[in-house]
Amino acid sequence: MNPSAYDCEEVEDIREVIGQWKWNEDKLLISAWLNLSIDPMIGTDQKGETFWERIREYCEESIPGLIKRGAIAMKKRWQRINEGAQRFGSCSEQDERKIGSDMDNITQLAHELHVAKYQKKCNFDKHWSELRRQPKWRTPSTNSEGMKRTKLSD
């Protein structure tokens, strides 16, 4: 047989089809991102690939085998979570300013407002609930410290 016939051998793609992200995977990813993005020892002084590899390692150490995806897949999922949570959060805060603090009512109205604004249902309300108290997702109206600064004692 001609040796060049073996040069173009077909190789079967062996990647496992994992499917959609589950809530417990998203929750772990959110936890990893929050813990590692505010790490005072390293902070933001790291390359993107390094940061997402640390996220992957954090997830694997926290709950081994839960997220069977690589750092790139985690980064892409985080981008979806970030965008979705911010959109839902803006709807939620808009409704909260209108009606006060009835969270059940706010959540329902925020879903309705999201559909009206973006023409699709939002699946990131749980994500928003996990993130809403973090500094990045707070708006001045939800920040309890306000805009005043006071001098702390020495």
* CA proximity to 81, closest of 148, 12, 154, 137: 137
Task: Determine the 3-state secondary structure of 15 from DSSP.
Answer: coil
The position carrying tokens 């051998």 is 9
Query: What amino acid occupies position 13?
Result: D
The position carrying tokens 């936890």 is 31
- Is the CB of residue 132 less than 8 Å from the CB of residue 82? no
Q: What angle (nearest 5°) sits at the alpha carbon of residue 140, between those of residues 74 and 153?
A: 100
pLDDT tens sequence for the chain (154 residues) = 555 444 545 545 445 567 899 999 999 999 999 988 877 776 656 777 888 999 999 999 999 999 999 999 999 999 999 999 999 998 988 888 887 766 667 888 888 989 999 999 999 999 999 998 888 776 654 444 444 444 455 4
